[in-house]
Structure 1
Amino acid sequence: MAQQNADQANWLKATLRDGYDRLQRGDQAGAANCCRQVLQRKPDLVEGHFLVGMIAMNAEDPKTAIQGFGSVTKLQPDHSGAWAQLARLFMRRGQINRAEDALHKAVAHSDDNAVVHDTIATVYTQLGDALSAAQWQEKALEAQPQNIGFLINRANNQMFLGDFKGARQRLEEVLLKNPKNANAHWLLSGLEKARDRQHIEELASLLSTEKLGDRDRAYLAYGLGKELEDMEDWPAAFRAFAEGAAARRRGIKFDENSEKAAYQALADTYTEDWLGNKQTGCDAQAPIFIVGQPRTGTTLIERIITSHSEVHSAGELRQFEGAFRRLLRERSDDGLTGVIRATGDLNPEEIGRAYMTLSKPMQGEGSRFVDKLPMNFRFLPLILAALPNAKVVHVRRGPMDACFASFKQLFADAYPHSYDQEEMARHHGRYYALMATWRERFGSRFIEVDYEKIAGDPQPHARELIADLDLQWEDQCLDFYQQSGAVTTASAVQVREAAHTRSVGRWLRYESELAPMQKALTDLNIPLEH
């Protein structure tokens, strides 16, 4: 009997190792077969269920991944790796409260596993807490200083924190180990303006490789497009952006019909009568929400405001959505449309209090703080109900510049609509129409600023904005580019310089190439510029 047990243990170990090896090589079917064999032999094998989760994550099957890692935590409640993976999965699904709970357990049970430390750092990054992410990244690198993935994540974090010299050193270290690492090349291209074609030629050479995965092709193409644009080689830049967008679009799912239904639910739920009949919300006066579309100047506006001595930058927080999802409890797994309709019945004061509690660690020491999550524009009326004394700033930008700025940006896991010209334009149309609805119903309750005006003539418009926020003017609000602190968005490099208008009307450089985007906006009766 002892020998049989030993033989089974050895077989299980070998089969599991084979499964993980196959997963590393991209053999999903082979890994899944190994997984089935070990779980048939031993259904309560923790490592087998963890492999289920990893296989499902690779297959972009979050539901099965959550089930796999969830089984691990039931069998072994102190398994920090499974909790960390669950936290990351919940973040991707927008289930902020569940992500925070899983993250707390991952941290509480953390051991010396460097991969777990790096995963915890990733979740902190997604929550907008770059400083906590940096601490966990350093722990991971202490254990595995040569790990390329860890080095890239640390470099990315250093860019957010404004340590561009440190980020460059990390990326150059990566490229010494692997000169073909596409992610490192992409990040390197964004650190500063290209002044010659040396790196451009290297990127173009790497892109010519036939056996290149879509994700790597997207990294290299977007990096190439950015540097070609720096050199004002407009036609070649667009070809690179288009190649990168097409590669990224092939690797993601975007359910446009679900987005349409969600936006309709927003307009149907948050009416004037709905807000008028609501109880009084939480009386907190500290929050300042900045909303809009990505790449429209929201970070510029945030930096102006948070240069004020009384205002702290809390980053792009997911806590408002997390607050109402937490209150929905068992309904929090519904699709977004169902969640939106359910929020109409919630007590706004409870939402406001929950938000203030969840965001407390990020609020800083000042009397006010900025929450700059652009997509909160969807929930603007709910913010007004939950936090009636908060300020909401909507940043507008010319539609073609806004759409093109997103199209030529490679995002992490956000904005899946941005990699196709027509999908991008139709999404912008839904945003445009929804903001028109909010303006008609609640226009006196929020502030609107135009990116073009504040970039072209910062002083009067910045002064007006600061006054609208009930703050006294401070000259340092015009010196925002000298401000230290994290910028956890794609604008991390740009906002370290003074306001400029170089990006205003940039789309006209590509007018003929952007014909599909122009037509889609025109068909929706949306002006191409303000």
Structure 2
Amino acid sequence: MTARAALARGDLDTAERTALAATRDRPEEAEGWFVAGIVAAERGQIGRALPLIEAALARQATAEYHAQHARLLILARRDGEAAAAVRAAMALSGGDARTHDTIGCVLARLGDHEGSIAPFEAAVAAEPNNLSYRYNLAAACGFTGRVEAARDHYEAVLAADPGNARVHYALSILSKQTAAPIPRLEAALAAARTAPDRLRLRYALAKTHEDVGDAAATFAWLSAANDEHRRSLAYDFSSDAALFDAIEAAFDRELPAAAGDADPAPIFVVGMPRTGTTLVDRILSSHAEVGSAGELQAMPLAVKAAAGTRSRQIVDAETMLASLSADPAAIGGAYLARAAHHRPPGKSRFVDKLPANFLYVGHIARALPNARIVCLRRHPMDTVWSNYKNLFAGQSAYYAYSYDLIDTARYYVRFDRLMRLWARRFPGRVLELSYEGLVADQAGQTRALLAHCGLDWDECCLSFHENRAAVATPSAAQVRRPINADAVARWRRYEAQLAPVAEFFVREGIPI
């Protein structure tokens, strides 16, 4: 079909014109509707694309059509419908490599990394030279603990594309590194032409130098990476300060009684990123009654919908203030509906470990009165260092502070102040769990954790490293090992470089 050919060569105008002509001339045929929908999606018009794809499906249900429908539903944050659509795609035999890859990507977005392996493998088997498909398979292998398979696939990509910055970075965080990759990382950086590639390669160099114990080189590469990226973001801490101010203004006063939704299933694990949230998620999800739902956007989206604000950001000061006029029970119900599609089957309880949910403790406490909340607390200097050295989603508003040491320290101060507000306003609702305390007394702190969550003792929680469930965070390698003190007081290796942070904390009254 001419529309398909135009779409394949990136000529969206011709593809759209031809596809829409087909819908007028042959409205009973599915293909014109489908291609018109894909063109709309390529232009970022998801709301327009969905009914076109659905019109195609009404005329002919194929694996490709269902898979693309699922992809668009994910982009529209309609996860439950996306799950149904991807199941429909999987139920149909056949499908080309792109369809298999799309199915794998949707499953990964739904948190089913184990399930994504088979379609990714099918895509690679059909088109072994497609580097994008092989990258997706490698990432899924890494998330599911297939480290050697992941490494082999990443190396296959580099054999064809030696400068692939995404792959170099992924390899660097897959396992502990030796000095061997440093020359090829430096060569790739010298040839890099884009800012995102330079960012990833500098982070890969920093991670590699840290693994081999070269603190000076580690800090130098991180500084180069973060300084350039921060300039591109045009971030100012005042935007985050305004958000904290709005939350405090909304909740630091008496609020009307709220019934909320009584479901006791959720366990929220919150805190600053890189402070042990994944570790606690693994401990809890090793319990017979508990499964991990991963890092859900369900609470931020439920609050945003309830607030009804028109800003493009999910979390901002306006939304936080407006959300207090909404019915807490409605927020709780909306959260549970969104989370339902990510809950592991056969478990009565589930963990939502989005660290940024510490911003929503007030909403959680009112909307889900029987939910349990655990906040990780790590030494402030280690918290700053671990945030600064981690490459978060490059354009995420949640983590824009993390590319500057003092901005990260400022963010910690406001986090600490907000947690003290939650303790005053909702006494007993949040267990503040020390990462260092957990490392020093695993059994004792695990008992306290399970008791707070209303769970009986389960010996398996001490063997969390044997939990084979997927991990899609930078902590994947660490949580597959027994608990250890390797990360405790790691900031001391960089004490001289972090001196401005220590001085800032002293001025702000934060003990270090």
TM-score range relative to shorter protein:
0.7 to 0.9
User: Which residue of 351, 354, 365 maps to 1:370?
Assistant: 351
User: How far is 1:229 from its partner?
Assistant: 1.1
The amino acid of 1:447's aligned partner reads L
Structure 2: runs of 5+ lacking an equivalent: 22-32, 57-64
Alignment of 1:8-23 (within 5 A): 20=10
Letter in 2 for 1:198: A
Task: Provide the rounded CA distance (Å) in 2 between the counterparts of 1:76 and 1:128.
Answer: 24
Query: What SS is found at the alignment partner of 1:488?
Result: coil
Local SS of the residue matching 1:449: strand
Q: Aligned residue for 2:341? A: 361
Whole-angstrom CA distance in 2 between matches of 1:284 and 1:182? 44
| Residue number in structure 2 paired with 1:57 | none
Q: CA deviation at 1:426?
A: 2.4
Structure 1 pair 125–272 and aligned structure 2 pair: CA distance change class (3 A): farther
Distance 2:175 2:245 in 1: 42
Alpha-carbon distance, 1:450 to partner: 0.4
Q: Given that residues 68 and 102 in structure 2 are in contact (C-alpha distance below 8 angstroms), is that contact kept between their aligned partners in structure 1?
A: no
Distance 1:324 1:127, change over 3 A: farther
- For residues 264 and 360 of structure 1, the distance between their equivalents in structure 2, rounded to whole angstroms, comes to 32
Q: C-alpha offsets along residues 301-360 of structure 1, whole Å, 9 cap, x if unaligned?
A: 122222222222222122222334445568686763332223212222222233223322
Does residue 223 of structure 1 match 2:204? yes
Match of 1:28 in 2: none
For 1:409 and 1:227, the matched residues in 2 are separated by 13
Among candidates 425, 430, 453, match of residue 409 of structure 2: 425
Match of 1:411 in 2: 392
How far the C-alpha of 1:50 sits from its partner, in A, is: 5.8
Q: Tell me, which stretches of 5 or more residues in structure 1 are unaligned?
A: 1-8, 21-33, 55-64, 91-95
Matches within 5 A, 1:441-520: 441-520=425-504
SS of 2:174's partner is coil
Distance 1:153 1:39 in 2: 28
Q: How many residues align?
A: 483
Residue in structure 2 matching 1:180, options 163, 166, 172: 163
Q: Does residue 283 of structure 2 align to residue 304 of structure 1?
A: yes
The answer to whether the 8 Å contact 1:159/1:167 transfers is yes
Contact 2:46 2:75 (C-alpha < 8 Å) held by counterparts: no
Cα 1:132–1:412 shift into 2, 3 Å: farther
For the residues of structure 2 that align with 1:299 and 1:347, how far apart are their CA atoms?
Answer: 31
Which deviates the most, 509-518 or 250-259?
250-259
Query: In the TM superposition, what whole-angstrom CA distance separates every residue of 1:105-134 from its partner, at most 9, and x where no partner exists?
Result: 677689946446545544543443323444
Change (3 A) 1:233 1:445: same
Q: Secondary structure at the match of 1:444?
A: coil
User: Given that residues 453 and 461 in structure 1 are in contact (C-alpha distance below 8 angstroms), is that contact kept between their aligned partners in structure 2?
Assistant: yes
1:486 partner SS? coil
Counterpart residue type for residue 321 of structure 2: R
Distance 1:467 1:233, change over 3 A: same
1:398 to 369, 372, 379: 379
Question: Which residue of the partner structure matches residue 59 of structure 2?
Answer: none
Question: Following the alignment from structure 2 to structure 1, what is the Cα–Cα distance between the partners of residues 361 and 210?
Answer: 35
- Aligned to 2:496, what secondary structure does the other structure show? coil
Distance in 2 of aligned mates of 1:261 and 1:39: 45
Say if 2:16 and 2:39, in contact at 8 Å, map to a contact too: no
Q: How far does the alpha carbon of each residue in 1:276-303 deviate from its partner, in whole angstroms, 9 at most, with x for none? A: x233122212211100011001111122
Query: Following TM superposition, by how much is the alpha carbon of 1:232 offset from its aligned partner in structure 2, in angstroms?
Result: 0.8
In structure 2, relative to structure 1, the CA distance for the partners of 1:503 and 1:115 (3 Å cut) is same
Task: Tell me: CA distance 1:484–1:44, structure 2 relative to 1, closer, same or farther (3 Å).
Answer: same
- What is the CA distance between 1:17 and its match in structure 2? 6.8
What do residues 457-496 of structure 1 show as CA deviations (whole Å, max 9, x unaligned)?
A: 2122222222222322222221111111111211011101
Where 1:291 maps in the other structure, the secondary structure is strand
CA distance in 1, matches of 2:240, 2:98: 34
**Letter paired with 1:444:** G
Give the drift of 1:74: 5.1
Distance 1:425 1:135, change over 3 A: farther
What is residue 206 of structure 1 aligned with on the other side? Answer: 188
- Letter of the aligned partner of 2:485 in structure 1? T
Matches of 2:308 and 2:86, distance apart in 1:
22
Out of 492-501 and 335-344, give the one that drifted further.
335-344
Q: What is the match of residue 234 of structure 1?
A: 215
Give the % identical residues: 34
Contact 2:270–2:375 (CA<8 Å) still a contact in 1? yes
Asked if the contact 1:87–1:123 (Cα under 8 Å) also holds between the matched residues in 2, the reply is no
Q: Match of 1:212, SS?
A: coil
Q: Which residue of 1 aligns with 2:112?
A: 129
Q: Hey, what does 2:27 align to over in structure 1?
A: none
TM-score (norm 2): 0.83
Task: Kindly provide the amino acid, as one letter, of the partner of residue 129 in structure 2.
Answer: Q
The answer on 1:268 being equivalent to 2:249 is yes
Q: Secondary structure at the match of 2:175?
A: coil
C-alpha contact 1:318 1:373 (8 A) present in aligned 2 = yes
Matched, 1:160 2:139: no
Query: In the alignment, is residue 171 of structure 1 matched against residue 154 of structure 2?
Result: yes
Measured on the aligned residues, the alpha-carbon RMSD in Å equals 3.3
Match of 2:273 among 294, 297, 301: 294
Pairs within 5 Å for 1:67-146 = 68-73=45-50, 77-78=54-55, 86-87=72-73, 89-90=75-76, 96=77, 98=78, 112=95, 114-115=97-98, 118-119=101-102, 121-146=104-129
Q: 2:225: which partner in 1?
A: 244
Relative distance call for 1:361 and 1:422 in structure 2 (3 A) is same
Equivalent position SS for 1:198: coil
Is the CA contact (8 Å cut-off) linking 1:217 and 1:244 kept in structure 2?
A: yes
For the residues of structure 2 that align with 1:385 and 1:339, how far apart are their CA atoms?
17
The answer as to whether partners of 2:141 and 2:150 remain within 8 angstroms in 1 is yes
